[in-house]
Amino acid sequence: MAFEGLTERLQKAMEKLRRKPKVTEADLRETMREIRLALLEADVNFTVVKDFVKTVREKAAGAEVLKGLNPAQQIVKIVNDELTKLMGEEAVPLNKAAHIPTVIMMVGLQGAGKTTTAGKLALRLKNEDHARPMFIAADVYRPAAITQLQQVAAQIDVPVFEKGTDVDPVEIVREGMEVAKQNHNDYVIIDTAGRLQIDEQLMDELANIKELVHPDEILLVIDSMTGQNAVNTAQGFDDKLDITGVVLTKLDGDTRGGAAMSIRAVTGKPIKFVGEGEKMSDLDVFHPDRMASRILGMGDMMTLIEKAQKNFDEEQAQETMDKMRENTFDYNDFLAQMDQVTKMGPLENILKMMPGMANNPALKNVNLDPKQFAHIKAIVLSMTPAERENPDLMNPSRRRRLAAGSGRPIVEVNRMIKQFNQMRKMMKQVTNGNMSGMQNLFGG
């Protein structure tokens, strides 16, 4: 999980402070030292760390005047505010051209996630803007690159303009732009070549493409797992191409966090999106304030709520509520609910966005296996329509048949049915306004 070590260390530093009835000068120095070490260990750029700690120290010293407030909390707030500022304060939207097409050029080192991100971005534009994007395949050095772009494009139903690997990339882009104009595509996304490291020849080629099309957006795709190197890469690309934004990928991995915190400060360019998985839907807008709160282990409820809303079918929810009230919630509703939850992404990621959960030791080794969901589903799908509509039919012989039908052990079938019945009971109590049922469920 991203930021794990950093979150843990920052939380420890704050916790120590919290336990003191009065914060002395020496305590503050000690906390600053710990914050500094935590950031350096997370691979945050040295100069960035120095400036950051200096600002926090100054603000913390000034904050002593607010005697009424808990000093530890004041410092948490200062750290949170400064982290937010460091990462850019506000989310920065994609640039858009006054006249179509808006041209987005994807650049970055090989393996950073350029092609994947191009796909994610196109899907996002399609879903949110009803856009009709087109890709241009301008990486002519690896034949596999074109095939990969075509595969990504096929998944999301977006056309690709390509001319194989024997044509000059600048020429490909020139012809591609003509085709996009003829077809009235409103976005053109150019997938360019990457190398293992920055090299002059590639930079010249990218500069030539830039010269030709004057992109509205030059998005540098950066692998967040590469730490300090990510910052050097960003600087290299920015010096040559004057990029307009950054996409930080692989934030779902256990990146230490340095890139997220240094890139803006070092290049002055905003992180616009973050990639949090390999699926086409795993691209989120980068919100500095939410990221700060996530780094401090305070959760990211906003993103969680948005994810829920995006996947939420209002009509279905109303129907579920009605059924809960009428106590007619059955296995068909149960299936529909499971589908809604799985659409939000891996369960452990969802849990970790909740306040206090990111570093909760109870979650450390939790592996909410998606297979378990699949198993439950298999059991429900083995029911007859009558059984699904009438949960009270489940006698032992029917249970044995379900076990055989789903290929799951009978204990698992029994457990699932027991949990389902408990859930129904609780729903009835809750919708009747009797909350004691909830308390029982949580061991209260």
Place of tokens 């803006």: 264
> 110 or 208, CB closer to ligand GDP?
110
CA-wise closest residue to 189 among 164, 221, 218: 218
CA 179, 183, 186: angle at the middle one, nearest 5?
Answer: 100
> 192 or 406, CB closer to ligand GDP?
192
- Give the count of residues interacting with ligand GDP (CB under 6 A): 20
Residue type, 25: E
Least Cβ distance, residue 252 to ligand GDP (angstroms): 5
Q: What is the CA radius of gyration of the chain?
A: 26
Place of tokens 């061991």: 443
Place of tokens 């080629």: 205
- Does the protein bind ligand GDP through residue 278 (CB under 6 A)? yes
Site for ligand GDP in 170-199 (CB under 6 A): 194
Q: Which residue is nearest to ligand GDP (CB)?
A: 275
Site for ligand GDP in 19-48 (CB under 6 A): none
- Token pair of 200 as six digits: 């002059």
- Does the protein bind ligand GDP through residue 169 (CB under 6 A)? no
Distance CA 344, CA 146 (A): 30
- Does the protein bind ligand GDP through residue 342 (CB under 6 A)? no
- Does the protein bind ligand GDP through residue 115 (CB under 6 A)? yes
Instruction: Select from 133, 169, 275, 288 the one that contacts ligand GDP (CB under 6 A).
Output: 275
- Does the protein bind ligand GDP through residue 359 (CB under 6 A)? no
Concatenating the DSSP letter of every residue in 292-317 gives HHHHTTS--HHHHHHHHHHT--HHHH
Q: Which residues are annotated as a binding site for GTP?
A: 108-115, 191-195, 249-252
The answer to whether residues 370 and 427 touch, using CB atoms and an 8 Å cutoff, is: no
DSSP, collapsed to helix, strand or coil, labels residue 111 as coil
The answer to whether residues 220 and 107 touch, using CB atoms and an 8 Å cutoff, is: yes
Site for ligand GDP in 130-159 (CB under 6 A): 148
Q: Which residues contact 94 (CB under 8 A, 6 or more apart)?
A: 102, 104, 217, 245, 272
Q: Which residues are annotated as a binding site?
A: 108-115, 191-195, 249-252
- Does the protein bind ligand GDP through residue 272 (CB under 6 A)? no
DSSP, collapsed to helix, strand or coil, labels residue 188 as strand
CA-wise closest residue to 274 among 221, 200, 236, 347: 221
What's the DSSP call for residue 165?
A: B
Least Cβ distance, residue 285 to ligand GDP (angstroms): 14
> 116 or 262, CB closer to ligand GDP?
116
Q: Which stretch binds ligand GDP (CB under 6 A): 3-11, 108-116, 125-133, 168-176?
A: 108-116
What's the DSSP call for residue 22?
A: S
- Does the protein bind ligand GDP through residue 277 (CB under 6 A)? yes
The pairing of beta strand 271-275 with beta strand 160-161: unpaired
Stretch 210-239: interaction string toward ligand GDP, x if CB under 6 A: -----------x------------------
Q: Which stretch binds ligand GDP (CB under 6 A): 30-38, 104-112, 195-203, 404-412?
A: 104-112
Least Cβ distance, residue 267 to ligand GDP (angstroms): 19
The length of the chain in residues reads: 444
Site for ligand GDP in 241-260 (CB under 6 A): 249-250, 252-253
Least Cβ distance, residue 284 to ligand GDP (angstroms): 10
Could you list the residues that contact ligand GDP (CB under 6 A)?
108, 110-116, 148, 194, 221, 249-250, 252-253, 275-278, 282
